[in-house]
A and B are shown apart, each in its own frame.
Chain A
Amino acid sequence: MTTVLAICVTVIVTVSVYLMLSRELKSIAMGVFLLGHGANLAIIAMSGSPVLPGGDLRQPPILGGENLVDALPQALILTAIVINFAVMGFLLTLLVVTARKTGTLNVDELALEDPPVASPEPDRSADRGVGR
């Protein structure tokens, strides 16, 4: 079980790093979200195998008795999912606003402080690149 989870985490993180290395903000955002899922799976893996050495499964805590699953990592993941969801909503909104305002979601084009076309003050072009 842990091996399967470990492989899943590896694949997810690999894909997310690949996405984050892109120059398009949309792909970067997707990469960040995937990374969050990978992190949640990693916590599940850390919380221990649900299969006991004898082959029995651990029981949900609500049933009581012995050999219970540790519920705390799942509480952590629940919190992390909620936070991830909020961040995702914010980031997607920001992407939409940015695309509307600037007409681009390319990292290189956004990094220019004063775009050549939209610059209202030509005298600022002198200090473009300062401190970059």
Chain B
Amino acid sequence: MTDNLLGLLVVIPLATAVASVALIRHRIPQRVLGLVSFGSMLVLALGWLSEIRDGDVLVSQMGGWPAPYGITLVFDSLSGLLLCAGLVVALGCYVHSFSMLDPVTERRYFHPLIQLLIVGVNQCFLTGDLFNLFVGFEIMLMASYGLLVIGGSRRQLGQAYKYLILNLIASTVFVVCAGLVYGMFGTLNLADLARIVDARVASGEGLPPGFVGVSVLLLFVFGAKGAFFPLWFWLPDTYHTCPVPVAALFSGLLTKVGVYAVARTFPLIFAVGEARDVVTPLLLVSAAVTMLLGVLGAVSQNNVRRILAVHVISQVGYMVFGLALMTTAGLAGALYYMVQHMVVKSSLFLCCGVMERHAGSDDLDRLGGLLKRDRFLGVAFFVAAMSLVGLPPLSGFFGKLVLVREGWADHWWLSVVALLTGLLTLVSMLKIWTKGFWLPPAEQAPPAPGRDGDTGSGDLRGAYAGIGFLVVVAVLIGLAAEPIYEIAFHAGEQLTDPSAYIRAVDPHGLIAAGGATGGGG
């Protein structure tokens, strides 16, 4: 199906960002504008999601140029679900920032930057070709560099470079990969690439030399953005230093875009034929080590923020687990897990922000007795934490259930690691719960100054609204597991059998008629 309005999901935040720059001195109009932008995008995205819940694919050809010549935007089950989850997270964090960000930081282009971040994220999710995926990544990363050092404290500046340099190197490798792929196949359109690769494997012609190398290079690129096993070192320090709403947004969106890129390109193109034999073991080992090392790192920390940050890594491991299986149910499980993780993880980070505000620190030795002081926060944190652990009625359970069951047949050891990780997750969450909320304060330490950029007004209504919104959505994801999993299952089907995707992108058969030349230089 064609829907030419898909571009709105990129245009709305872009226009809002420009308008916000014009209104930079006025706080309230910027906030209203931002809320309108996020709200309208969420309504549009949910509307489209309900349209495609039977497995349809919405396609928009920019400028009327048919694929593979023009820029294609695709709204299928995979991108639709993640887009909605991303917008929910962004809205929650945005509302939260109203009471958690101090006015000086807010005036330093917080509103335009957050809109630009969404431009990049939406473009990554929607785009139908490899080069625009790169451009989307770059827009997102530029905005994230800005948000990372917003406020410009010494600690932020010192820690930002790890993230910056690694991502710059990864982006450069990405451009080279795009060039190599174009040289090999003469096209960068994902549907076209999927068709050519498929046809070459089926006809026994084989893939061009160097294809496996490009696959592994791209795995490095997406792994660096998604914090897979050997490439996760930048994450804990980065999330530790920036303001809480920004850290929550990053934890919900940034790594997930990396995982999305793997989910989008690997089953379709880069893990086909002999490349699959190389990529799958890498993904399997990476998944196991990411899960286990991430959670062990989290258990060993004593700061709420660091526990949560290191935990992001462990959760990415679950998603890689699902991707590595490369089966319909495995991919669907990974997608469902991603959706619930984005919402739950961000709400935990937002809770952490309020905890820091109450106690003046996120050091667990200084916290305590918060349940008495703030019932709402305690309940919200508990629900979100138990979702993360995967207690049955809550959303995390269903994601883990699908993954463990699907992995049991072929890779039982990985399922065992996943279950063990779940247990250790419980330990780390109980650590925060007992020390932060349940036990009385251990010592009457003088309140330390809050984190940089977090000392806003004492009004916490915005913070509660953000947390409440995300926690309610997290619970709903658990209660509505079946319809959401159905959409995720359609996504899994579309990834394992790309014919529906190709047909939607190219309804006139231009690609199938050999519109693109196979093989250039």
**Which A positions have Cβ atoms within 8 angstroms of B?**
2, 20, 25, 28, 32, 35-36, 38-40, 42-43, 45-49, 70, 72-73, 76, 79-80, 83, 86-87, 90-91, 94, 97-98, 101-102, 107, 110-115, 118, 121, 123-124, 127, 130-131
By secondary structure, the A interface counts as: helix
Chain B residue numbers with a CB within 8 Å of A97 are 149, 152, 157
Nearest B residue (CB) for A114:
B155
Interface residue SS majority, chain B: helix
Whole-angstrom distance between the Cβ of A76 and the nearest chain B Cβ: 6
User: Would you give 23 A-B contacts (Cβ < 8 Å), ordered by A?
Assistant: A28-B165, A32-B169, A38-B172, A43-B178, A43-B179, A43-B182, A47-B183, A47-B520, A73-B182, A76-B131, A86-B142, A90-B142, A90-B146, A91-B168, A101-B154, A102-B154, A110-B158, A114-B155, A130-B302, A130-B303, A131-B297, A131-B303, A131-B310
Residues on B with beta carbons closer than 8 Å to the beta carbon of A79: 131, 135
Tally of A-B residue pairs with Cβ under 8 A? Answer: 116
Closest beta carbon of chain B to A113's beta carbon, Å: 6
A43 close to B176 (CB less than 8 A): yes
The answer to the question of B438 belonging to the interface, with a C-beta cut-off of 8 Å to chain A, is no
B contact residues around A39 at 8 Å (CB): 172-173, 175-176, 179
Contact B301 A131 (CB under 8 A): yes
Considering only CB atoms, which chain B residue lies closest to A70 in the complex?
B520
**In whole angstroms, how far apart are the Cα atoms of A107 and B453 in the complex?**
24
Contact of A83 among B138, B183, B520 (CB under 8 A): B138
Question: How many angstroms between the C-alpha atoms of A102 and B160 in the bound complex?
Answer: 13
Task: Note all chain A residues with C-beta closer than 8 A to B142.
Answer: 86-87, 90
A91 with B164: CB separation less than 8 A: yes
Which of B's residues lie within 8 Å of A, judged by CB?
131, 135, 138, 142, 145-146, 149, 152, 154-155, 157-161, 164-165, 168-169, 171-173, 175-176, 178-180, 182-183, 236, 297, 300-303, 306, 310, 363, 448-449, 520-521
Report how far A48 CA is from B157 CA in the complex, Å.
42
Note all chain B residues with C-beta closer than 8 A to A101.
152, 154, 157
A48-B520, A49-B521, A76-B182 are contacts. A127–B363 as well, Cβ < 8 Å?
yes
Residues of A with C-beta under 8 A to B135? 79, 83
Interface centre among B155, B168, B172, B303 (most CB of A within 10 A): B172
Contact check, B182 vs A113: say whether CB atoms are below 8 A apart: no
- Indicate if the CB atoms of A90 and B236 lie closer than 8 Å: no
**How many Å lie between the Cα of A14 and that of B427 in the bound state?**
46
Q: Are A42 and B179 in contact (CB under 8 A)?
A: yes
Which of A32, A46, A87, A94 contacts B149, CB < 8 Å?
A94
Q: How far is the CB of A50 from chain B (nearest CB, A)?
A: 11
Shortest CB–CB separation between residue B471 and chain A, in angstroms?
27
| 8 Å CB contact of A130 from B152, B158, B171, B301 | B301
Residues of B within 8 Å of A76, CB to CB, are: 131, 175, 178-179, 182
Contacts of B157 in A (CB 8 A): 94, 97-98, 101-102, 110
Tell whether A73 pairs with B301 under 8 Å between CB atoms, given A49-B521, A107-B161, A111-B158: no
B408 CB to nearest chain A CB (Å): 34
